[in-house]
Amino acid sequence: MTATPTELTGVGEEGRTSLDQLGPVDYVVVEFPAGASNFTGEMAKELLALVDSGTIRVIDILILTKNEDGSVDAGELSDVADLGPLQAVEAELAELLTADDVVHLAAAMEPGSTAGVLIWENLWAAPFASAARRSGGQLIANGRIPIQAIIASIEADEATASEGD
């Protein structure tokens, strides 16, 4: 399934949305040690809750396995034997990742591990993003602050505050 330059499949009542209406798109890679992956358990439940609430729209999900020799096997969500409730999400995917994307993402993985790659649209931000584009604005920077950095900053502030007591 390939998206056209002006439309993305799997969105809206007609199954398509204009790129002018698209919200910000993010991705995460979640790595599991060998034999410990569970893509249909609690993670699936929380992902479905985000989709059902209209907070996000799943664009693509890929399963990567990095073999001990460093080679990488990539599979789509549909390759998972028992998708359970994720079956509904799988039908809407746009398959955006290229072979080069897979190589880049897998570089961070440990040999013998499996990772899930999730790409999603932030539906909650789509109206703002659309208004910004219509107003002539363009996104020039964005980023994420890892939770580990936030925790470290809070702990450092607390340590500094307790030293002053």
pLDDT tens-digit series, residues 133-152: 899 998 888 888 888 899 99
What's the domain range around 100? Answer: 7-137
Q: Return all residues near 82 (Cβ < 8 A) that are at least 6 apart.
A: 40
Kindly state whether residue 27 falls inside one of the protein's structural domains: yes
Q: Higher confidence at residue 63 or residue 1? A: 63
Kindly state whether residue 157 falls inside one of the protein's structural domains: no
Is residue 57 pLDDT above 60, yes or no? yes
Q: Look-up: residue for tokens 């020799």? A: 69
Give the rounded percent of residues in the chain with a pLDDT score beyond 70: 81
Kindly state whether residue 90 falls inside one of the protein's structural domains: yes
d(CA 50, CA 39): 15
Kindly state whether residue 160 falls inside one of the protein's structural domains: no
Kindly state whether residue 92 falls inside one of the protein's structural domains: yes
d(CA 112, CA 120): 26
6 burial type by CB count under 10 A (0-12 exposed, 13-18 middle, 19+ buried) = exposed
At residue 122, the 3 state secondary structure works out as strand
Name the pLDDT band for 8 (thresholds 50, 70, 90).
Answer: very low
Total of domains in the chain: 1
Asked whether 147 and 67 are in contact (CB, 8 A), the reply is: no
d(CA 3, CA 56): 19
Q: What type of residue is 32? A: F
For residue 73, give the nearest of 33, 113, 46 by alpha carbon.
113
User: What was the pLDDT predicted at 53?
Assistant: 94
For residue 38, give the nearest of 115, 109, 97 by alpha carbon.
115
What mean pLDDT value characterizes the chain? 81
